[in-house]
Structure 1
């Protein structure tokens, strides 16, 4: 059962869990870690202020689904580029990235659902539009060909793009999470990785897949069935159904399931399954609660060597070395 909260109640829970700290240490003024309110879950959100970019790292899991009654949308005073490595949050799903900026179209208060089924592992970049980086991003967006142009929302353009996280983005995100440096060197490294992510997002916006133009849009009912198939894969990570069985369970034929899954998630059914297995394994190793054998079994690998090879190919490091680091 979901916990339903107003935006005010939600903010008050976060404020109570993270009371203001005294002192004027320079490091505290540019980096802050907030814990998730114990009523809602466990974990943290880390905010790092860089030059022209506020970097936010989300690493937490909710106890129950949270339904937030969000106020009517207003103007966003910064570009937001986000990457959902794991978890379904604010309408963005595992494996998706997004870009938002501007004045939203007029709409009533929205019900925003954050799900407890997956741990949330997410990277957000809030980019100052007046900074040189923001101006470069604005210039890149302005030069995009239709249909990726900003949508005119009346008083200001509204940019809203949701797409899949590419392998190149995933590699940079992993490097960002595993930053090996400290102090000023760390800040330079993080800034460089944020800029690389912005560049990759702009490249994705400017290169629409040719086959996308020839695909018939999915109906709302078919899209719901695709998401139902995704949930089955997540719930049965250690023993997934065959493609034909999965199609039968969501009442689609196997062709429509394959084509629709590719449209929604940008990858094949079992490409998504592999990706989610690796991300789940990475998170379990990161928690240090399980050894490599236990993690391999929990994501459906009976053979530990095959799991190690798949993990190394995905992340460029052995699972045992990753868990130690």
Structure 2
């Protein structure tokens, strides 16, 4: 009895800390985790997703944001299929969460994943990341406009290295806006860690990379950025690099977001609980420092906002993936 009172008291403090007022009826329906919580990483140890999840776990543990232990488990494989199927199989159990990204949407559209956002419970989204379009320092492609124009005139004259389906979509949005014949464009798919070495080795003409990975190479003079994928410029060494919208290519921005999902059929009280925890995590100084190091923007969206984001992006991704020729889902 004392343990239950302690947990309810802790939960009320958490809710008020994030500015959520509870009525008497709501308080009667409160929930806290009752056993170990598993945070799933749909990627390998040391990956960018792994860094995010381990930062979340560390903050929850150090600042006692949950009354139970939390374990980080890497379940990489199958373009996130291993992790998301694992979550799907735990219907109704709020003790399992997984980091997620647009891969949950895009890989369903392409037929790689048998499930999508409607098969899980979106909890929150909180990180945004942009991609840089990179060339070698002495490349004849001086600007983003040069890149599109060359491909428009000779679609097979430029090779592009992409590290995942989302980077491929980022390229597709730009080339679709530029009316490029995508069927003749040469895109080489590889792991994200290989795109810039492949560029620097002279094996491709253009490479995609996350901003955080691109900056050290730009500062060292090993690559040059011609555009960024996001709706706004980024600072530091890329402050002078334009967005595609600035270059005149409308509807070509892409923001790679990260969020958290849970199994389907968890209760509203359980959703609110995890929203509150994740909101506190993203407001924590240590989380902000991690985001700054990785060149992420932190923007918190609750469960309802995240579901709306996923629904809107699913339709957008399906359209551009049709242009890319990788749509399987009707």
Q: TM-score, normalised by structure 2?
A: 0.23
Q: Normalized against structure 1, the TM-score is what?
A: 0.23
Question: Higher strand share goes to which structure?
Answer: 1
Higher relative contact order structure (alpha carbons within 8 Å, sequence separation ≥ 6): 2
